[in-house]
Structure 1
Amino acid sequence: MAGRIVVLVPAHNEERSLPAALASLREQGRPADRIIVVADNCTDGTAAVARAAGVEVFETVRNRDKKAGGLNQALAVLLDLLDPADLVLVMDADGTLSPTFLETAAAELADPSVGAVGGVFWGEAGAGLIGALQRNEYARYAREIDRRRGRAHVLTGTATLHRVDVLRQIAATRGRTLPGPAGKVYDTTALTEDNEITLAIKTLGYRCVSPAECRVETEVMPTWGDLWRQRIRWQRGALENLKTYGLTRVTAPYALQQVGMGIGVVAMWLFLLLTALTIHHGFEFRPLWFAVGLIFVVERVVTVSRRGPRAMALALTMVVEWAYDLFLQVVLIRSAWDVLRRTEARWHHVVVATDN
């Protein structure tokens, strides 16, 4: 039976988004026993906001390793104080949890084969067309997880509940079975710490799941520049993690996915090239290809039906989402190129506009 639930909320200058995250924790059907905001190199009122909300604050000391480094500092103190049956939720300060999150996740972890339970993320409202496109993308990902009966491809950094004994195993095997600094839970050399710790947990032989009831609402990127930098980090981090771990039974499905994405990129751009070369001959109606196209359109609309008529209407236009897909394909190409060139990777933090 699960013991206490301790929440770590890593936050860098999150005074505006933090109250909503903490409020969602207060509304849990199974409340957390401790909530600790990990204030990392903050220059705003993040720590003050957390204390005013009645939660604990852990302030990092000379951390240069971003989110992973801040969490490592907090866990270095916390793990020695917890029992093996306790659970640790790592939750971003810019997300909010569904009221059933902790109760559902804790129940899943009663199965000893499950190492961690991640959230199924949905996009917050706002940000116009670019926000709507991201919300449709996230809705399709949620549907895919549901069709896989909750098997998680990646434990989202937005919110994941971990077993303490598993976190200790990760720290104990770093530098040997697992890559990364010895004795640390998170690999500070990884660009995407959530993807890397998923591989670590699965390499140790545990399953990772994301039940539909563990819903978390997360920020969407407000501009194309922000989205570009976010997705470059995600995609490049995934590629670098695969390179670090090498080809194993755990990484093989991820490698095949990347190969499939690469084939999709080549096929799409060849189609564009062929279209450009033959368009002067005019268009000819072909029933077979019309039927294939119609099936594709129906699939795009149905897979966002949970989000309602507006999302379905956006999917029905096809051209807009197609352009969005091309954007993501360019991200993949650029990420692969950066990995090959070994260019310096950068972390991007979205600055929330303040009221005047």
Structure 2
Amino acid sequence: MLGLLTWALAAAAGLPLLMLAAECILGSNPRIKSPYVLPPPFTVLIPAHDEADGIAAVIRAVRAQLRPCDGVLVVADNCTDDTAAIAAACGADVVERHDPKRRGKAYALAFGREVLRAQPTALVIVVDADCVPTRGALPRLAAHAAGHGATVQACYLLKVPADATPLVRLSTFAFMIKNLVRQRGLQRLGGGALLQGTGMAFPWPVFDTAPLETASLVEDLELGLELRLAGRPVRFDSGSVFTSSASGQSATEGQRTRWEHGSIATARSYVPRLLRAGLLGRPALLVLAADLSIPPLALLAGIDMAIWLALGLLAVLTGNAAPLLVLTAISAVAIAALAFTWLRLGRDVLPPAMAAYLPRYLLWKLPIYRRLAGDRQTLWVRTSRKP
């Protein structure tokens, strides 16, 4: 019985590490293909809550990529500032929503959908009000969605200011692994992609019927999983890039708390459903379940270390060191895969000297995970836009 326990512990830590390593190795190679169709008309839908300071730059960047047949609609959601007036002055169509009891992006998107139903376009692209599409991102994303008849997630990355603290840089590197490297690796493994918020292109029939309204902290992630379970394809386009500025250290902690608490709760809810559907004849969902089972990197490192120490103790007590050696080998492969990713893609975000701050980064994340036990974040809170 003790032998089974040691192997179960090794598997619990080792399988997510193997999936992470596979995604990092496959996802670190760009191999970006150009879209092969002209996009049909599309509407850019921007949910915005108190975004007066930055929304003008986003609308200007969006409108620079639109044709006469395309449009941009801003939903000024429960705003207490001049978001609506500024968006209108920049040339966007604007609608205002006032419902303090139902706050958050999901409700704003549903409100915008009701407006668009009067005259829908072939595609809807959701862009967050603090995210700027890089050159050509919108038509490329629309072409990808139209060409495959699928919902497509663009690549969403953070820009790091020159004076960013080491902890913010480490968090931004982890963000890049999650939003670019692992997404690309997941798609190459046959698992499709996850929705991550900004830069989501939907064919109108999908958007028209999508389950948008939810109080979830990670409404975009859950929406993508619901689409996949319903048999709708979700793809990733690493060539369509959207960026926003990394927040300061205190705001980054709040943002990571919301994302990670929401992601962990979502994984707990959806992994069993994905496994069940995968075992019933949809193997791509097994790959997706394996990806969703990977905890945030700092938490994964902590779990791996704790299990490694437990296996070391059990090896002394039982004389069976095989599970410990297997987990050690898998951990080494995962560390090598992360180092490979850093060499290929991460040196500008995370200079080599900042590696010394990794233990501090893990300690910085501990309060986030302690709150999971009894004070898990459940309410949507707008992330500060201050650098």
Q: Tell me, what secondary structure is at the counterpart of 1:191?
A: coil
1:68 to 91, 106, 111: 106
CA-atom RMSD in angstroms: 3.5
Q: Which string of whole-angstrom CA distances, capped at 9 and with x for unpartnered residues, describes residues 175-221 of structure 1?
A: xxxxxxxxxx4132322111111012112212211211111112323
- TM-superposed CA distance for 1:103, in Å, is 2.0
Distance in 1 (alpha carbons) for counterparts of 2:257 and 2:43: 32
**Inter-CA distance 53–303: structure 2 relative to 1 (3 Å threshold):** same
CA contact (8 A) 2:55 2:129 kept: yes
Question: Is 1:135 the counterpart of 2:172 in the alignment?
Answer: yes
Alignment partner of 2:125: what SS? Answer: strand
Asked whether the 8 Å contact 1:6–1:88 carries over to 2, the reply is yes
Opposite residue 381 of structure 2, the aligned amino acid is H
Structure 2 distance, partners of 1:105, 1:269, is 42
What's 1:96 paired with? 132
1:94-173 maps to which residues of 2 (within 5 A)?
94-114=130-150, 116-126=151-161, 127-141=164-178, 142-149=180-187, 153-170=193-210
The residue number in structure 1 matching 2:216 is 190
Q: What CA deviation, in whole Å up to 9, does each residue of 1:217-244 have, x standing for no partner?
A: 12323124x2332222222323433455
Offset from partner CA, 1:3-58 (integer Å, 9 cap, x none): 32111111111111212211221332767711111111111111121111111111
TM-score by length of 2: 0.70
C-alpha contact (below 8 Å) 1:301/1:312 kept by paired residues: no
How far apart, CA to CA, are the structure 2 residues paired with 1:133 and 1:81? 44
- When residues 30 and 119 of structure 1 are mapped into structure 2, their CA distance, relative to the original with a 3 A threshold, is farther
Give the distance between the partners of 1:112 and 1:200, measured in 2 at CA.
19
Structure having the larger proportion of residues in helix: 2
What residue ranges of structure 1 are gaps of 5+ in the alignment?
Answer: 171-184, 276-289
- Which residue type is aligned with residue 259 of structure 2? W
For the residue of structure 1 that corresponds to 2:65, the secondary structure is coil
Report SS of the residue matched to 2:126. strand
Question: CA 1:299/1:325 → structure 2, altered by over 3 Å: closer, same or farther?
Answer: farther
Which stretch has the larger CA shift, 35-44 or 122-131? 122-131
Question: Which amino acid letter does the alignment assign opposite residue 155 of structure 1?
Answer: L
Which of residues 232, 235, 244 in structure 2 aligns to 1:209?
A: 235
- The alignment of Structure 1 onto Structure 2 pairs a total of residues equal to 318
The equivalent residue for 1:182 is: none
Q: Check whether the contact 1:139–1:303 (CA below 8 A) recurs between aligned residues.
A: no
Residue deviations 1:283-313 (CA, integer Å, cap 9, x gap):
xxxxxxx999997776444423455755453
Q: Are residues 1:350 and 2:350 paired? A: no
The amino acid of 2:156's aligned partner reads: F
Name the aligned partner's letter for residue 217 of structure 2. L
Instruction: Tell me: CA distance 1:311–1:110, structure 2 relative to 1, closer, same or farther (3 Å).
Output: closer
TM-score by length of 1: 0.75
Determine if contact 2:137/2:241 at 8 Å carries over to the other structure.
yes
CA distances 1:299-340 after superposition (whole Å, capped 9, x unpaired): 4444234557554533x65332344245446634533x24xx
Answer whether contact 1:302 1:312 (CA < 8 A) is retained. no
State the one-letter code of the partner of 1:161: A
* Deviation sequence 1:153-183 (CA, Å, 0-9, x none): 421212211111012232xxxxxxxxxxxxx
